[in-house]
Each structure stands twice: as structure tokens, then as C-alpha cells.
Amino acid sequence: MTRPTIAITMGDPAGIGPEIIMKALAHPEVHAICQPLVVGDAGRLRQAGRIVGATIGVDSLADAGAAAFGMDAVQCVDLKCVPEDLPFGQLSPVAGETAYRCIAAAVEIVQAGQAQGICTAPLSKEALHAAGHKFPGHTEMLAHLTGTPEVSMMLVSPKLRVIHVTTHIGLIDAIARIEPGLVERVIARGHAVLVKAGIAEPKIGVCAINPHAGENGLFGHGEEAEKITPAVEACRAKGWDVRGPLPADTLFFLAGRGDYDMVVAMYHDQGHGPIKVLGLEAGVNITVGLPVIRTSVDHGTAFDIAGTGVADERSLIEALRQAVELAPKSQAA
């Protein structure tokens, strides 16, 4: 099978993105499964390479078509947007602007057919906002850049897959936003990506909002019956194996032991907590519903250790694997 080209965005250049990219692309197994094309700043990657003691160099490319993939040098579409004296570990609008430009350029590369997926290193939401780009995160930015009206965040670890009905909004706002149509669309997006990944009849568990799934109205104000049950019933009417609303604490235990292929979480921390307990180094973030494949590390910019060379590249390697798994099937679909 032909190795897909995966566009790797550098993320916030003041964070650990440049370091984990240089570490990850020194692994031969990455090159065995894909053609990694970094979208960022070649000078910053070289700085990061010196910090981590990388033996691989960096080629500065004017465009994606000039890439010559191999183990000798990282292929970088060079946006030339990072000042040499930009410090690591400090929030800045310059770094936020760079992160935005990396994403925008990667979308153009994929849309032009020069790459089959995007894998993102972390950015700082605060730096992004300081640069004037008022997006809550990668997910919403990619939806805007691709003209996609609605997408979902899915987190994947070796033992658990979680898709979110709501993400970067407050808990009170999240509960207000949840409604049967939204829940049904999120379940449908999750079902579709699992089928494309080779799970013909996925088992999907849907979290309740309240403790004990509301205990028949004892907890909450009937949110389960009003907001979630109609969506579950609509999905079951399609012949899908969807169950819920279920108490979240029990559901995550059952999913972790393999009873479910995916959990539908109602809000950010309900889904993120269990995944992160299993280990940040193994977690991958997938944006579901975009016209392009996008995976990401499941950790932040780690400004506190940026520039020290100690950042762990394993989540990025796993995110690249997930992008490769999804890209060929999506092309064939």
C-alpha cells in the first residue's frame, strides 16, 4: 500500500511541538507508515533539533511539491514566520499567529491533494486569541477553514474511544446546548468513523448527564428523557447498536473492559477525564466530520518544559498512526 502523506502542523512554536516533531520523525517506524510533511518554520525545527540532540536535519521547502521524503531530513513547508529570538515557554501573539498559519496552510495542502491527512502538534488557545483568531481550539478552527458547519471531537486511547456532544463551553452552557438532534448527529458521526475504520457493527454507549442517569427523575430535571433518550431511540431505529442514557461512571468501566466500541460523552470533562487517566502519551484527538482527516496529540503546549528537550513524543507517533489508519479508508470510501 502506498504510504499516505500526512501534513504535520508545528503548533505553537514556543511550546513543545517543534521538539516532539523532531523526536518523532527520528523514529524509522514513522517513515515506514507515512510520508511526514511538516508545515511550520524550518529554523525553529532546527533549533528544536539541537535541543533534543536530533541526528536528522531539516529541509526548507517553498511548497509541498518539492518534498523528497526520507530519513535524512525532515521535510518542512517553511512559512518563515518565527523570529530566531522567540523564547520557548512564553505566550506570545507571534506564536499564536504562527500556529494559525500552520493550520491554514495544511488545510490548503490537503485540499490540493498534496497530503491525505493532517496531524496537529499542540497550540495555545490564549496565544491564538492574542493573535486575533477567536477560536476555542483546533477543532473549531478547522471547521471554519473547511467550511464545515458542525464537527465532533473524538479521543482515542488503546482501550477507549470517546466522542463528545459538547466541548469547549461551560458546563451550564453545555447542558443548555444538548438536544436530541445534536446528540443524534454526534452518534451518527461516531458510528460512521468506526465503520470506516473496519468495525462493521459498532457498539455505542451514550452517557447520561446526571448521576445514576437521573435515577428516574430523582436527580436533575428530566434531562435524560428530554435530551438524550429520543436520540438513542432514533439511532436504534436505524438498526444501530446504541444504548443509553447510561450512568457515566459505569459506562466508562464497561467500555474500558471492551463491552463498547465507543462512548458518547455529553460534555468536555466527562469524556476527557477517563481518557487522560489512561495516559496522555497514548491519547489521540480526532476531529470527526471534516472533509479532511485530522488527528492530534492529546496534550497541550507544556510551556513549563518547552525548550528543555524532555517532552515525550509518543502521543504524536500514535496520532500519526491513527491518521494513516483513517486516510486510506477515507480515500477509498
At what angle are helices 248-256 and 268-277 packed, to 10 degrees? 40
Same domain, 163 and 122: no
Between residues 195 and 45, which one has the greater pLDDT? 45
Tell me the pLDDT of the chain averaged across its residues: 93
- The predicted-structure confidence for 220-255, as pLDDT tens digits, reads as follows 999 999 999 999 999 999 999 999 999 999 999 999
* Band of pLDDT at residue 284, cut at 50, 70 and 90: confident
pLDDT for the residue 282: 64
Residue 330 has pLDDT above 50, yes or no: no
Q: What angle do CA 111, 293, 56 make, to 5 degrees?
A: 90
The β-bridge relationship of strands 294-297 and 117-120 is parallel
Domain assignment present for 282: no
Same domain, 264 and 244: yes
Same domain, 123 and 167: no
The β-bridge relationship of strands 294-297 and 284-288 is antiparallel
pLDDT for the residue 46: 98
Domain assignment present for 284: no
Q: Give the Cα separation of 255 and 35 in Å (integer).
A: 33
pLDDT for the residue 1: 54
Q: What's the domain range around 294?
A: 1-149+289-333
Residue 216 has pLDDT above 90, yes or no: no
At what angle are helices 314-332 and 180-196 packed, to 10 degrees? 90
Residue with cell 490548503: 108
Same domain, 57 and 187: no
Tally the domains of the chain: 2
The three cell numbers of residue 110 are 490537503
Going by the DSSP 8-state scheme, the letter that residue 74 receives in this structure is E
- The predicted-structure confidence for 75-102, as pLDDT tens digits, reads as follows 999 999 999 999 999 999 999 999 999 9
Domain assignment present for 205: yes
Domain assignment present for 228: yes
Which CATH number does the domain housing residue 26 bear? 3.40.718.10
Same domain, 4 and 114: yes
Q: What is the mean pLDDT of residues 151-166?
A: 92
- The predicted-structure confidence for 115-132, as pLDDT tens digits, reads as follows 999 999 999 999 999 999
Same domain, 101 and 54: yes
Q: What is the mean pLDDT of residues 280-307?
A: 87
Same domain, 128 and 164: no
Residue with cell 525553529: 44
Domain assignment present for 154: no
Residue 281 has pLDDT above 80, yes or no: no
Domain assignment present for 138: yes
Same domain, 71 and 137: yes
- The predicted-structure confidence for 9-59, as pLDDT tens digits, reads as follows 999 999 999 999 999 999 999 999 999 999 999 999 999 999 999 999 999
Same domain, 130 and 22: yes
